[in-house]
Each structure stands twice: as structure tokens, then as C-alpha cells.
A and B are shown apart, each in its own frame.
Chain A
Amino acid sequence: MIMIGVLVAVSATLVWRRDGIDGVLEILTHDLALFGGILPRVLAGCLLGAFITEVLPHEKVSRSLGPNSGLKGLLIGTAFGAILPGGPFTAYPVAAALLTVGADFGATIAMVVSWTLIGYGRAVAWELPILGVDFTLWRIVISLPIPVLAGALGRFVFVQMYPKGEPTS
């Protein structure tokens, strides 16, 4: 957090030296507008995360997405990430909620990676218009195995690192 603050301050100073105060203000107004537009969605994402924590039965989640859920757990995580609506403001709160109710790192990694690589939201809104149909479709086809593989790798590494389960810190 402090690191980011310093990075932003340095960048803003560089912009000020290069473009003067107008450059700084232009970026500030643009980003403030962006921030205002995002805020309601962040609130929706946080509510979504809190409600999901309440609604999902912990026992069932740890069975179907927990450390012993096998390939099926990774596939469920992948499918869930692919159909999840919204942007980072929903994906991350929901993923955090899954961790809270008993999903393991592997299944949650599969979900986050699936959301970012094969989720339709960003592909339809940004990638198709900018990079074209051909590139986008092949990029998605090539990405299809990655969420499950990343989840499996994550699960494997996790067990090597913490053979007795996650440390409490």
C-alpha cells in the first residue's frame, strides 16, 4: 500500500515535470470519473461476497471444492470462474468468499485463472473488438486447459509447502 503510494507519487511527479499541471489534472479528472463509475460495482461485489459466504453451505463447499475434491473440484472452480458475471470487483470478493467457506487454494486458483482467461466478460467487451475474432477465439481455445492445470499445480505445491495444512498466521 505504501509502495503503491510512493510509486503513484513518483509517476505523478514525472507527469507534472513532463506535461505540467494540465497533464496532471487531466489524468486526475479522467481517473476520478472512472473511480466514481466503478464504486457502485465494488459495493455490489462486496455484497455478493458477503451473501455468498452466508448462503453457501460450508460443509458442501469443502467437500466439492476442498483439498480432497480432486479433478472434479478443479473443474467446478473452472466452470464457476467462466460463468461469473462482472469484473475484478466481483471475481475477487467471490473468490475470497470461497476461501472462507472451505474451498482450497487449488480450486480457488482454478476459479480466478478461469475468470481471467476464459471468462466471457472481458473477452466480449474488450478483446473481440480490439484483437479480432480469430485471435480471441484461438487465444481462448489455447487457454482452456490452463485453469485446471494451474489449480492442480497450486494444489501440488501447497501440499509440498504445508504438509500439515495451512499455517494459521
Chain B
Amino acid sequence: MTAALIIDLTLWGSVAALAFLVWRRGRVVLVSAAREGTMDFINIVPRIGLGVIGSGYIAAVIPQEVITGWLGPDSGWLGVLAAVLAGAATPGGPVVGFSIGAVALKVGGGPPQVIAYVVAWALFAFQRLILWEIPFMPAKFVWFRAAVSVPFPFLAAALAMAIGKP
């Protein structure tokens, strides 16, 4: 609860500070920028709505046990590959991805595999790309960014294996 409050305070604090900077360039500039931001908001709301309300159903259909099973213990590079695919396929918000990682660690998943899973999920969870990133950003940028991100969960797993941590 407090974490959410702090997030909201910094967020609206930043908005107010920037609004002040814009306002110093003139009232007209502020009004037109605020109108532009509001138009963006109105255009994005239906997509976010579909995403947030729909993601609950998608998450309910993909059973978490399936994904955990892919992160099996001592699975080597094949396990890393499975972890990356599982990360990309994991639906839902932050709780789901990290919880699956935690469960995988508990049932004996290898730390490098779980690192690869969490990093892949953070970089290019398919659902987040479509529901969050594409509504806000040029689609071409989003796919480009996801494509160049592909090697990095493997790099993270390799680093984890090399240093023997966590």
C-alpha cells in the first residue's frame, strides 16, 4: 500500500514539475501539451482496457505448473532455452513471473535457468509487448527491440554459470 502511494506521489510530482517547466514557456504551450497528452490517453485506454481485463483470462488458461516444469533442475543449456521460451510465454503481471521463478527455485530449478527465465520475461514477455509496449510506442521499434534482446537471457545465464551465483 505504501509502495503504491510512493509510486503515485513521485509520478504526479514529476508530472507537476514538468508541467511547471512547460508553463514557463507560456500558458498556450502548456494547454496544447496537456491536450495532446490527454488525447494519447483517450486513444490508449481501450487497448489497455482490453489488455488488463483480458490478461486475467489468458493467465487463467495457461497453467503455471506447465511453465514451472520447463525450468527443471540441472537442465543445462536446453533448460536455459526452455526457460527463455517460458519467460516469453508467461502471461500476467509482475507477481506471476516472479512467483513462477520462486516456485521453480523451490522445486529444484537451476539458478542460471531461473535467471534466464526472469530476464527473458522482463525483456520480452509476449503479453507485455502487445498489451503495454505496442499501444504506447511505434510497433516497428517494439519488434526491433524485442529481436535484439533475444541473446541477453542466454548471456545472463552464462554469466550466472561462470560466477557460480546466485
Interface residues of A (CB under 8 A from B): 1, 3-5, 7-8, 11-12, 14-15, 23-24, 27-28, 30-32, 34-35, 38-55, 85-90, 92-93, 95-96, 99, 105, 108-109, 112-113, 116-117, 121-122, 124-127, 130-132, 134-135, 137-139, 142-143, 146, 149-150, 153-154, 157-158
Contact = CB atoms under 8 A, between A and B. Distances in A.
Contacts, number: 225
B23 to A, nearest CB: 10
Given A12-B57, A99-B141, A113 B149 contact: yes
Minimum-distance CB pairs A-B, first 8: A8-B54, A50-B37, A92-B136, A138-B166, A51-B18, A11-B57, A47-B37, A85-B10
B12 A31 contact: no
Interface in B83-130: 94-95, 98-99, 101-102, 105, 111, 114-115, 118-119, 122-123, 128, 130
A47 B52 contact: no
Chain B interface SS verdict (over half): helix
A153 B53 CA distance: 35
A45 B166 CA distance: 35
Classify chain B: how many residues form its interface, as a range: 35 or more
Contacts of B53: 8, 28, 31-32, 35
A116 B18 contact: no
B41 interface: yes
Nearest to B9: A85
Interface string B65-95: 0000000000000000000000000000011
Quick one: which of A43, A50, A53, A112 has the most chain B CB within 10 A? A50
A142 B159 contact: yes
Nearest to A90: B11
Given A46-B38, A125-B3, A30 B56 contact: yes
A8 B57 contact: yes
A51 B11 CA distance: 13
Nearest to A27: B56
13 contacts: A31-B53, A31-B55, A32-B53, A39-B45, A48-B37, A49-B136, A90-B11, A105-B141, A132-B102, A139-B115, A139-B119, A143-B156, A146-B119
Interface of B: 3, 7-8, 10-12, 14-15, 18-19, 21-22, 25, 29, 33-34, 36-38, 40-41, 44-45, 47-58, 60-61, 94-95, 98-99, 101-102, 105, 111, 114-115, 118-119, 122-123, 128, 130-133, 135-138, 141, 144-145, 147-149, 151-152, 155-156, 159-160, 163, 165-166
B61 A15 contact: yes
B40 A49 contact: yes
B152 A149 contact: yes
